[in-house]
């Protein structure tokens, strides 16, 4: 990886792209330290600590935003609304024929879908910003006053910040390297490493200012687990199930075509981290709606209070049922990840289309008839691949929740590790591809 970066730096245009990417990422990180208007920066840390207590999803969101959420900064929502809007548009593309036609119209159609996604992201961003305001207005002195201008400025600022990051992500994709949205999330997670190291030092190693040997052993154990998880993520990300394909021989004039053997690579983690993001968005929605309808729901009792505590995964108001709420939360979370893994994998790998393309080009899977039998065979393989992927993603996603049960107060996110490793691998692959294009010498050279 470091050799690839060093070699890419020697190429002038790639060095320019890398510098542009670094500059735009620095601009993104600067916004994480600018508190939104109307927020009392001196008191926000206490309120955030109370809100994220035992809340694995909010902790993960804070990690992804690079601690911008914990400061209620102008980039507190990061590009979350854009990701949610992309999910909604992708789902609607399957359900609405007009949107499906746009997707098949080439670059112009995809650009129009992208515009719809951005409009929807702005609307969802405003709703989410208002939900954040309603969630924190009950905490003491988080906002400077009850003036009606404060919520208006707060919602407008957070929505504008999220919209600006959509533009910034496009610029990174155009002027820089790799996918802009992925790199923004990557930068947010990596920026939290110094604070995470400080938490380990103050919480485990030097507990209450005294050296703690047990804390050192626990720290080493967590580091080993993290390294094992990174290795597992790399293995699963790169692993693939190869389906052999044979092309029939064809004689055209005096030439013979076909006859070669190849394969269809099916990734074990084809859906990537998207099912986790889908599930997180779905888990946030019921708690946000209930919280908007009843601002005092955190301290309330009854059915809807229980529903809120399950989806928000918070022990506030009823700490005796913390484990019960957590277990129900984990079960629902894992079920959603499994459903979205299967759905998203089916959406990006259309077995019927692949089988038809093979049939048109004279290809076939050995021992399987062309057409529908091939589609059924690929669907059966995809079922097992999706099952393995959902189990792996589920194990990764529940890590921060399981760590929250220990009461250590350490944000150890398997989702964060999955995103960082996946984005790093994809970025290096794109750099290698661009270097190959620039270093390739054809027969005319």
CATH number at residue 70: 1.10.3370.10
Query: What is the Cα 382 distance to its own chain's centre?
Result: 22
Answer yes or no: is 233 within a domain: no
pLDDT at 266 over 50: yes
Q: Do the domain assignments include residue 268?
A: no
pLDDT confidence band for 156 (50 / 70 / 90): very high
Q: What pLDDT score was predicted for residue 316? A: 44
pLDDT above 70 as % of the chain: 81
pLDDT of 61 above 50: yes
Tell me, what's the pLDDT at 48?
A: 66
Report pLDDT for 321.
61
Residue found by looking up tokens 């893994």 in the block: 341
Domain of residue 76, residue span = 1-191
Q: Say if 31 falls within a structural domain.
A: yes
pLDDT exceeds cutoff 50 at 342: yes
Average pLDDT over residues 271-280: 77
If you average pLDDT over each of 14-23, 272-281, 308-317, which comes out highest?
A: 14-23
Q: How confident is the model at residue 140 (pLDDT cuts 50, 70, 90)?
A: low
pLDDT of residue 157: 93
pLDDT for the residue 444: 45
End-to-end CA gap in the chain: 29
Residue 108 counted as domain residue:
yes
pLDDT tens, residue by residue, 5-41: 787 788 888 888 888 889 999 999 988 888 888 887 7
Is the pLDDT at 192 greater than 70? The verdict is yes
Is the pLDDT at 366 greater than 60? The verdict is yes
Name, of 214-223, 280-289, 303-312, 410-419, the range with top average pLDDT: 214-223
Task: Give the pLDDT confidence score for residue 360 in this predicted structure.
Answer: 83
> Which token pair is 261?
């053997």
pLDDT of 203: 75
User: Does 119 reside within a domain?
Assistant: yes
pLDDT of residue 443: 43
Q: For residue 30, is it within any domain?
A: yes
In a domain, 258, yes or no: no
Residue 258 pLDDT > 60:
no
Please, are residues 334 and 394 in contact by the beta-carbon 8 Å criterion?
A: yes
State the average pLDDT for the chain.
Answer: 78
Provide the sign of the torsion angle of the four alpha carbons 62, 63, 64, 66, taken in this order.
Answer: positive
Q: Structural domain tally of the chain?
A: 1
The answer to the question of residue 4 being in a domain is: yes
């Amino acid at each position: 990886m470091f050799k690839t970066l060093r070699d890419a730096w020697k190429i002038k245009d790639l060095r320019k792209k890398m510098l542009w990417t670094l500059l735009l990422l620095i601009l993104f990180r600067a916004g994480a330290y600018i508190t939104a208007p109307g927020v009392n920066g001196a008191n926000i840390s206490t309120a955030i600590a109370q809100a994220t207590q035992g809340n694995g999803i909010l902790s993960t969101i804070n990690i992804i935003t690079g601690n911008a959420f914990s400061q209620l900064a102008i980039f507190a929502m990061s590009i979350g609304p854009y990701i949610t809007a992309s999910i909604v548009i992708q789902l609607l593309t399957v359900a609405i024929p007009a949107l499906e036609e746009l997707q098949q119209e080439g670059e112009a159609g995809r650009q129009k879908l992208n515009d719809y996604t951005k409009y929807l992201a702005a609307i969802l961003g405003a709703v989410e910003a208002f939900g954040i305001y309603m969630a924190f207005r009950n905490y003491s002195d988080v906002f400077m006053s009850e003036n009606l201008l404060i919520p208006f400025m707060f919602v407008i600022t957070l929505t504008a910040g999220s919209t600006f990051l959509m533009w910034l992500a496009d610029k990174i994709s155009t002027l820089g390297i790799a996918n802009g949205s992925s790199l923004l999330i990557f930068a947010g997670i990596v920026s939290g490493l110094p604070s995470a190291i400080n938490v380990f030092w103050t919480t485990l190693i030097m507990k209450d200012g005294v050296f703690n040997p047990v804390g050192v052993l626990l720290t080493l154990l967590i580091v080993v687990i993290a390294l094992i998880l990174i290795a597992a993520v790399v293995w699963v990300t790169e692993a693939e199930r190869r389906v052999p394909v044979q092309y029939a021989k064809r004689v055209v004039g005096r030439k013979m075509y076909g006859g070669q053997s190849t394969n269809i690579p099916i990734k074990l983690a084809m859906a990537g981290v998207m099912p986790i993001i889908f599930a997180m968005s779905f888990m946030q929605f019921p708690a946000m709606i209930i919280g908007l309808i009843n601002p005092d729901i955190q301290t309330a009792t009854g059915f809807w209070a229980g529903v809120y505590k399950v989806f928000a995964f918070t022990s506030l108001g009823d700490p005796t049922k913390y484990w019960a709420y957590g277990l129900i939360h984990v079960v629902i979370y894992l079920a959603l990840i499994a459903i979205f893994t299967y759905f998203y994998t089916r959406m990006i790998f259309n077995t019927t289309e692949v089988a038809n393309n093979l049939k048109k080009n004279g290809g076939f899977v050995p021992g399987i008839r062309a057409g529908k039998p091939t589609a059924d065979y690929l669907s059966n393989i995809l079922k097992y691949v999706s099952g393995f992927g959902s189990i792996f993603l589920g194990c990764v996603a529940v890590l921060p929740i399981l760590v929250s049960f220990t009461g250590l107060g350490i944000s150890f996110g398997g989702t964060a590790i999955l995103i960082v490793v996946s984005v790093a691998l994809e970025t290096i692959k794109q750099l290698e591809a661009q270097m190959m294009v620039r270093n390739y010498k054809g027969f005319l050279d």
